[in-house]
Amino acid sequence: MADRNKKLIIFSAPSGAGKTTLVRHLLSQEELSLAFSISATSRAPRGEEKDGKDYYFLSNEDFNKKVEEGAFLEWEEVYSGTKYGTLISEVDRIWNEGKSVIFDIDVVGGLNLKSLYGDRALAVFVMPPDEEELERRLRGRQTDSDDKIRQRLAKARKEIGRSDRFDYVLWNRDLETAKKEAYNLVKVFLGND
């Protein structure tokens, strides 16, 4: 795959907006030839999450060591004491497989990747229908405390304020409609139409 054909698809959104569901849908479309970029994090696994599949779970010490080594394209402390980042080796691994990279990443990380890769990256912001629905989805997960949900909602308000910096804002009012819209966006971007 020639360098100019190496592309990245970035899906960012507030927690609970549906970006993970949309990314999983796109990954299941074999004709798009996408592979998921597994982020590294300093947090512990939640629920059924598996190391090397959902995230690379690193100790805070190991995460900081990788930062010092320059192993990340981008990273940030998303919540106090909880860091996330994109490993250079992950993007290289996927491109070496001849596939395009797809990210399920927070808003700051998505904007950082877009600024690094410019026109080689499609940055999509997944917009939740409204704050009430976002809160309902977060509570429905049953993975976070009330305090953590309040933190996520406060962060969501800030993230929504940055949505205009993305290439495209995809409203997730109806999941089936959002899936079709996401598929068409990616297909056109990759030149598979």
Per-residue pLDDT of the chain (193 residues; tens, 9 = 90+): 445 579 999 999 887 788 999 999 999 999 999 999 999 999 999 888 999 998 999 999 999 999 999 999 999 988 788 999 999 999 999 999 999 999 998 898 899 999 999 999 999 999 987 778 777 877 777 777 888 888 878 888 889 889 999 999 999 989 999 999 999 999 999 996 5
Q: Which residue has the tokens 């990256």?
A: 121
* Cα–Cα separations (whole angstroms), residue 86 to 91, 132, 134, 143: 8, 31, 26, 24
Domain over 3-190 is classified CATH 3.40.50.300: yes
Alpha-helical regions (H) of 28-130: 60-69, 88-96, 107-117
Give the model's pLDDT for residue 1: 41
Q: The whole model's pTM is what?
A: 0.86
Give the residue extent of every domain in the chain. 3-190
Give the model's pLDDT for residue 12: 94
